[in-house]
Amino acid sequence: MSMHDMGVFYEKGQGVTKNTREAARWFRMAADKGDRDAQSRMGEYYSHGLGGLRKNDAEALKWFQKAAEQGEPAAEFNLGLAYEEGKGVKQDSRKAVEWYTKSAEQVYLPALHNLGLMYMAGNGTLKNIEDGLAMIEVAAERGLAGSQYFIGTQYERGEHLKKDMSKARSWYEKAAAQGNTKAREALARLK
């Protein structure tokens, strides 16, 4: 059993009492030894102030960078997000697209969604609505609730997709089933 696994057990309370401080301790030990998944978790912990750690964007970025350099898709996504939002780094849409692309190539669904939005807007890349929408559709088809909601809005509005209230409702239902509140509101509005 790896140190990273111990961190996951404490994080989720699997076989042990849930304890995010203890999870952070195990993740840190694994991260210091070069475990890319643990490095990515350390980035998350610093990014959100979890496990008794103070929220620290610079420290989060350091860990995301280490994990991303080893090809960890969640870390690549989080670096893309940092560059898109200018969180801990100077805002840079091109670098955001670069990191989202690396993550999306591993079919990391949040990266596919965000990269698709950037393509649709021409943000950091040439505008390409068709390719952007296709990326978001892949994420929706594979179960990402936010993408399912987005595709529903496109069908409801007839924006980029032919207006089809039946398809809009179907996508909203899929997203709502996963707890997406905007999709639930859209379904209530359509009744």
User: In this structure, are residues 36 and 59 in contact, taking their beta carbons and an 8 Å threshold?
Assistant: no
The reply to whether 15 falls in a domain is yes
What is the pLDDT, as a whole number, of residue 191?
82
pLDDT of residue 187: 95
Question: Residue 48 domain-assigned?
Answer: yes
Q: And the tokens for 35?
A: 């475990």
What whole-number distance in Å separates Cα of residue 31 and Cα of residue 67? 9
Q: Is 79 helix (H, G, I), strand (E, B) or coil?
A: helix
The mean per-residue pLDDT over the stretch 49-67 comes to 96
Per-residue pLDDT, 3:
95
**Residue 144 predicted with pLDDT over 80:** yes
Within-domain flag for 80: no
Is pLDDT of 1 > 80?
A: no
At 46, which CATH number? 1.25.40.10
**170 close to 190: Cβ distance less than 8 angstroms:** no
43 within a domain of the structure (yes/no): yes
Q: Is residue 35 in some structural domain? A: yes
> Is residue 136 included in any domain, yes or no?
no
Domain of residue 61, residue span: 1-70
Q: How many structural domains comprise the chain? A: 1
Tokens representing residue 34 in the block: 């070069």
Task: Please report whether residue 54 resides in a domain.
Answer: yes
Residue 60 lies in a domain: yes
pLDDT of residue 101: 98
Q: Span 52-72, mean pLDDT?
A: 96
Instruction: Note the pLDDT tens digit of each residue in 66-76.
Output: 999 999 999 99
